[in-house]
């Protein structure tokens, strides 16, 4: 796979359109990776908050 990518990158030198498209796709991948990271962090916060809620409710329901 790496050889295929390197071969593809070498062909960018011959066709400027490919270089532009490659740069655009790299930027898009970076944006999507950033989005995935942000959503993952948000999900972790929500899961933590929900777990705390459940523990609080369970503690309130236990007999004294």
Q: What is the pLDDT of residues 7-64, one digit of tens each?
A: 665 555 678 898 899 999 999 999 999 999 999 999 999 999 999 998 888 888 777 6
**Contact (CB, 8 A) for 20 and 14:** no
pLDDT at 1 > cutoff 60: no
The total number of structural domains that make up the chain: 1
Identify the domain containing residue 33 by its residue range: 2-61
Using CA atoms, how far apart are residues 9 and 25, in angstroms rounded to an integer?
13
Q: What is the mean pLDDT of residues 1-12?
A: 58
CB 14 within 8 A of CB 22: no
Give pLDDT, residue 43. 98
Do 56 and 46 touch, CB atoms closer than 8 A? Answer: no
Query: What integer pLDDT is reported at residue 35 of this predicted model?
Result: 98
Q: Are 18 and 11 in contact (CB under 8 A)?
A: yes
């Amino acid at each position: 796979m790496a050889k295929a990518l390197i071969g593809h990158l070498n062909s960018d030198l011959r066709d400027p359109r490919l270089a532009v498209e490659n740069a655009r796709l790299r930027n898009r991948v970076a944006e999507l990776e950033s989005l995935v990271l942000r959503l993952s962090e948000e999900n972790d916060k929500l899961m933590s908050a929900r777990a705390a809620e459940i523990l609080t409710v369970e503690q309130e329901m236990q007999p004294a």
